[in-house]
Amino acid sequence: MRSIICLISCKDKEGVISKITDFIQTNKGNIISLHQYVDRENGMFFMRIKWSVKTLKLSIDEIRLLFKNLLHHDPNSKINLFKNSDRPNMAIMCSKDKHCLMDILSRHKLSEFNIEIPLIISNHKSVESIAKLFNIPFYYFNLKENNKKDVEDSQIELMKKYNIDFISLARYMQILSPNFVSKFLNNIINIHHSFLPAFIGAKPYHAAFKRGVKIIGATTHYVTSELDAGPIITQSIIDISHEYGVEELVKKGRELEKSSLSKAIMLHSERRILVYNSKTIIFE
Amino acid sequence: MRSIICLISCKDKEGVISKITDFIQTNKGNIISLHQYVDRENGMFFMRIKWSVKTLKLSIDEIRLLFKNLLHHDPNSKINLFKNSDRPNMAIMCSKDKHCLMDILSRHKLSEFNIEIPLIISNHKSVESIAKLFNIPFYYFNLKENNKKDVEDSQIELMKKYNIDFISLARYMQILSPNFVSKFLNNIINIHHSFLPAFIGAKPYHAAFKRGVKIIGATTHYVTSELDAGPIITQSIIDISHEYGVEELVKKGRELEKSSLSKAIMLHSERRILVYNSKTIIFE
Amino acid sequence: MRSIICLISCKDKEGVISKITDFIQTNKGNIISLHQYVDRENGMFFMRIKWSVKTLKLSIDEIRLLFKNLLHHDPNSKINLFKNSDRPNMAIMCSKDKHCLMDILSRHKLSEFNIEIPLIISNHKSVESIAKLFNIPFYYFNLKENNKKDVEDSQIELMKKYNIDFISLARYMQILSPNFVSKFLNNIINIHHSFLPAFIGAKPYHAAFKRGVKIIGATTHYVTSELDAGPIITQSIIDISHEYGVEELVKKGRELEKSSLSKAIMLHSERRILVYNSKTIIFE
Amino acid sequence: MRSIICLISCKDKEGVISKITDFIQTNKGNIISLHQYVDRENGMFFMRIKWSVKTLKLSIDEIRLLFKNLLHHDPNSKINLFKNSDRPNMAIMCSKDKHCLMDILSRHKLSEFNIEIPLIISNHKSVESIAKLFNIPFYYFNLKENNKKDVEDSQIELMKKYNIDFISLARYMQILSPNFVSKFLNNIINIHHSFLPAFIGAKPYHAAFKRGVKIIGATTHYVTSELDAGPIITQSIIDISHEYGVEELVKKGRELEKSSLSKAIMLHSERRILVYNSKTIIFE
């Protein structure tokens, strides 16, 4: 049995569910899951539907064309189709903090994700030992004041070479240029160590300590050209007390950061996320 | 605009979604939400679909008949249809602990539920003051060793008189007879003050204290003839520590009990719960 | 048996615990609980100690004087002593949203708090029905553009008349003047319907919806002259999804608001909170 | 600066806190943290106190003797003293599931624990690859129906050889004999994949699925001779829905299991746990 996942965004016209499910039934497909959401404010319809077929008579491209016909070639519509057997290629970029990287690679080693990880990029040489541990190609870039554009160009080349589908910033403490970001729109996942929109930017744990908050959080989001303002994927928090100094916040925060980022990678790789108007629709 | 909610359980044949959504589209209905679940183990399909119509051309009974036709009168199928404007009648039964009762009535007073509460039944006279506060008819039954059957018969009469759809046991410390239960199958919600199946029966906080657990919980479930074994609706817990004596567990537990019970009442009254094989399917 | 609670803040000199516990032992007291915290950054020591005595040979004032002697009359030290039998007087101020008010009064009715509630103040007449339900004196103030000072003066008079110890703003949608605030420093508890410092000011649920966050929160804090910037007491959150419109956020948020505010009232009334440098130390 | 941790259990006589803190002050120690708890039901007093000294004038043994004097050699008292610089030796025993093992070793690699891990023992050869990855000695035991005693004897020998202080059962699917357990009383931490006391024994996820619970949990506890009945250290849960089949429960449960076990290892290695009457007192 093979399975196919389809993500659809389109104007909310009546009948999309009925048309798509009718197509699947007619083609002897068996619906495994169907999630839909109507954004009434914007008059938009979103759906994730997964079905299995014994033999794939139509190619993905042919199905896409048929679905476009069903939606009358609405220019606002987006149709994304994936075979479950397609494992996306994810690059990891990280700086010196290794807990998120370690968590991703540990899960990858135990086959928890349905992805390939062809390379790890870092601006810190110390990360190489972890990459080696898990036998993944590692690229070090010595970022300086004046070489950011060159470095990013080389990184983009690498992404092409390895056929990268999406990127995880596993505590990558560099701001990517709008050019870089535009190459991977809604395909770069960042983990920010606060409950956004609170404590945007550098040193959120220090800011949280200073404000005397009673919770700390972590937020994963797609990177856009505006700092920490991209569509939010996941947010999680833990309770803290006055007893936590900055060092303890950093330590406790690591737990949130790594589990949040791995959760976001899971959701993205399973094609559960749609982006519309700087917000995410997530079908869990 | 009027809205209709339909709950369907049937054998998992291909095409149910397509047939139902097609019907709604043809009848100028607008789907507000659709949730479906396939139980592959048992080959069963479950759906909750809510749609709005400008004018209701067909009666609920006519729609039910049409849906039955669409499902080829499968004897395993169940179709429940409700108009959103139908407010179910809920009875409350409680003993001397008043926190759950108070929570339900407070929410009712602030119109948080879409229900009517025509009566409160208790085996403790002290509850009457709360019933009076919220101006709800109160019935006291003096339960003794030998009058249980008579009392239940009178209670069942009352339920008929007030046209009761479902019952909340808001810390009602009496075991209902199989006869009583059978009259309201899957329509009696109980709150048990532990995370079931742990600590079944009396004094769960004492048992939790003795075992030295680090969480305590509350479970809402539909009442069946087997004690604390009915289909679970909600479960919630809080962390505790060695510092909590039984008295503190009781106090903390109240928070869980009342919020869990009110949550279950909300889910039930919004027709979000299906029961199959002693388990619930809940479409939130 | 009577019990006494002492809250101490002072410079972190060695020996405070030993001196205080020695005093209690010498005076035949029995320590019920002792919590202490050292803020190393600021060199400050904080303690909450509760003990019981069979007969109170020394008055609270005499104990205070003795403790001041033990701390060598350090001008930075603060010593607050309370008899457990002293029930503080709490005023409630609220606007038209009634869920927090209802929650507080329901708990009060069931004797969950160790407080008195001598009066309720509102700028909305509709609140009076709830005050009457629970038989608590109600004062309505018709706030206009130009009468804020007069209204506050009258309110302060009322607080004096009723011997008010602290105030709960149970969704009071007015900003109190610095003059009012100064009269009840660290004794006015506000509930703000976001996880501060995110979404300060008006309409936080609308802002949360717009940003597309995946959690919403509630924060209780002591009111200071700066809006939503006072020392935080409690913060709590719930997970939300793209399916929640503003109306659902408001509805779900109510649960957080009322439980958070009641929790803060409990902590404050049990003398568990110390304030230092715009942050709280809470001994639970 | 060196720091010392002392765990004390004794009869609840007045004055213990004052005596111990007085000793520390007299010896120029600086109290870093003090947590105490009185079990009124059993008349027992428990304390964890941590202090720092510039130079350690007295040996740990000398301090122990002095403290015993302060407690008048009460035979019910227990005094455990540790230098912070003492890193305990932890052995890991596991079967074929690798997620807990991987989590522990990843954290160890990133120096999150203050422990040494001298060896890993397994009844599955497949675990060796993970042990090798992190360069830790690995011992395989081919457990059969009739060699359990011999295997355990060899394992106990290994524990002696490596000077093991405590053992983590990282999903070790074998029941240890009372003899083995008695050698490491309150020093063997097990992770059980349910919220105990529910679903004791084998296949708890299957049992949870069958019962239709809405939460699943994980429990860490010290191993005793009675199955899954030892003193509970941590418990954690996640919400689930009807959509989770057994496979998804197993997958989601892994997250709980590994974080719970690592949390328990952290608490144990930081000497935060006291055991009394089959329950734990944990000073976080």
Give the count of beta carbons closer than 10 Å to the beta carbon of residue C69: 10
> Length of chain A, please?
284
- Tell whether B135 and B267 lie within a shared domain: yes
Least confident stretch, A21-25, A145-149, B167-171, C173-177: A21-25
Answer whether residue A14 shows pLDDT above 80: no
User: Which tokens sit at B7?
Assistant: 């709950």
Query: What CA–CA distance (Å, rounded) separates C248 from C242?
Result: 11
CATH number at residue A237: 3.40.50.170
- Tell whether D50 and D77 lie within a shared domain: yes
Q: Is residue C102 exposed (0-12), middle (13-18) or buried (19+ Cβ within 10 Å)?
A: buried
Using the beta-carbon criterion (under 8 Å), do A14 and B36 form an inter-chain contact? no
Task: Give the residue from B56, B83, B110 where a domain finishes.
Answer: B83
Q: Which residues of A touch C238 (CB under 8 A)?
A: none
| Count of structural domains within chain B | 2
Answer whether residue B249 shows pLDDT above 90: yes
When pLDDT is cut at 50, 70 and 90, the band that residue B155 belongs to is very high
Measured CA to CA in angstroms, residue C81 lies from C4, C62, C67, C272 at distances of 7, 11, 10, 12
pLDDT score, position C219 = 98
pLDDT above 90 coverage of chain C, percent: 86
- Tell whether B104 and B153 lie within a shared domain: yes
Task: Give the residue from D52, D83, D114 where a domain finishes.
Answer: D83
Over residues C30-51, mean pLDDT = 91
Task: Give the residue from C66, C83, C100 where a domain finishes.
Answer: C83
Over residues C158-164, mean pLDDT = 98
Angle of helix C246-269 versus helix B246-269 axis, rounded to 10: 160
Residue D197 CA neighbour count, 13 Å, CB half: 17
pLDDT score, position B109 = 97
Q: What is the pLDDT of residues A244-265, one digit of tens each?
A: 999 999 999 999 999 999 999 9
Q: What is the pLDDT of residues A127-137, one digit of tens each?
A: 999 999 999 99
Query: What CA–CA distance (Å, rounded) separates C260 from C171?
Result: 12
pLDDT score, position D50 = 95
Using the beta-carbon criterion (under 8 Å), do D18 and C30 form an inter-chain contact? no
Which is nearest to D12 in space by CA: D68, D71, D80, D79? D71
pLDDT score, position D55 = 85
Q: Which is catalytic among the residues C12, C61, C228, C239?
A: C228
- Tell whether A154 and A275 lie within a shared domain: yes
Using the beta-carbon criterion (under 8 Å), do C215 and A196 form an inter-chain contact? no
- Tell whether B197 and B132 lie within a shared domain: yes
Answer whether residue B1 shows pLDDT above 80: no
- Tell whether C245 and C152 lie within a shared domain: yes
Computed over every residue of chain B, the mean pLDDT equals 95
Using the beta-carbon criterion (under 8 Å), do C18 and D18 form an inter-chain contact? yes
Q: What is the pLDDT of residues C66-87, one digit of tens each?
A: 999 998 888 889 999 999 889 9
Query: What CA–CA distance (Å, rounded) separates B182 from B215?
Result: 34
Residue D1 CA neighbour count, 13 Å, CB half: 10
- Tell whether B263 and B157 lie within a shared domain: yes
Percentages helix, strand, coil for chain D (3-state, rounded to 5) are 35, 30, 35
Q: What is the pLDDT of residues A46-102, one digit of tens each?
A: 999 999 999 888 999 999 999 999 988 888 899 999 998 899 999 999 999 999 999
AA identity, residue B240 = I
Residue C250 CA neighbour count, 13 Å, CB half: 10
Distance from CA of C203 to the nearest CA of A (A): 15
Give the count of beta carbons closer than 10 Å to the beta carbon of residue B27: 14
Q: What angle do CA D186, D192, D193 make, to 5 degrees?
A: 160
Distance from CA of A86 to the nearest CA of D (A): 21
In chain B, which residue's Cα lies nearest the Cα of C127? B110
Higher pLDDT, B30 or B45: B45
Q: What is the pLDDT of residues A228-237, one digit of tens each?
A: 999 999 999 9
Using the beta-carbon criterion (under 8 Å), do A212 and C196 form an inter-chain contact? no
Q: What is the pLDDT of residues B201-230, one digit of tens each?
A: 999 999 999 999 999 999 999 999 999 999
- Tell whether C27 and C166 lie within a shared domain: no
CATH number at residue A16: 3.30.70.260
User: Which tokens sit at C35?
Assistant: 């919590």
- Tell whether A62 and A116 lie within a shared domain: no
Whether complex ipTM tops 0.90: yes
Query: What CA–CA distance (Å, rounded) separates D237 from D215?
Result: 6
Which residue ranges in chain D fall short of pLDDT 70? Answer: 14
Residues of C with CB under 8 A from a CB of A: 37, 40-41, 195-199, 211-215, 217, 219, 231-237, 239, 241-243, 245, 278-282
Residues of D with CB under 8 A from a CB of B: 37, 40-41, 195-199, 211-215, 217, 231-237, 239, 241-243, 245, 278-282
pLDDT score, position D40 = 84
pLDDT score, position A145 = 87
pLDDT score, position D15 = 79
pLDDT score, position D30 = 85
When pLDDT is cut at 50, 70 and 90, the band that residue C41 belongs to is confident
- Whole domain around residue A200: which residue ranges? 90-282
When pLDDT is cut at 50, 70 and 90, the band that residue A226 belongs to is very high
Higher pLDDT, B268 or C28: B268
Using the beta-carbon criterion (under 8 Å), do C110 and B103 form an inter-chain contact? no
Query: What CA–CA distance (Å, rounded) separates C123 from C259?
Result: 23
Answer whether residue A198 shows pLDDT above 80: yes
When pLDDT is cut at 50, 70 and 90, the band that residue A143 belongs to is very high
Of A98, A109, A255, the CB nearest to D110: A98
Give the count of beta carbons closer than 10 Å to the beta carbon of residue B12: 16
- Tell whether B247 and B139 lie within a shared domain: yes
Distance from CA of A269 to the nearest CA of B (A): 22
Over residues C146-165, mean pLDDT = 97
Answer whether residue B53 shows pLDDT above 80: yes
Answer whether residue B198 shows pLDDT above 80: yes
- Tell whether D50 and D100 lie within a shared domain: no
Residue B60 CA neighbour count, 13 Å, CB half: 14
pLDDT score, position D42 = 92
Distance from CA of B158 to the nearest CA of A (A): 43
Q: What is the pLDDT of residues B6-40, one digit of tens each?
A: 999 999 876 788 899 889 988 889 888 899 998 98
Higher pLDDT, B123 or A85: B123
Q: Which is catalytic among the residues B97, B103, B165, B228?
A: B228
- Catalytic sites of A, residue numbers: 228
- Tell whether B16 and B102 lie within a shared domain: no
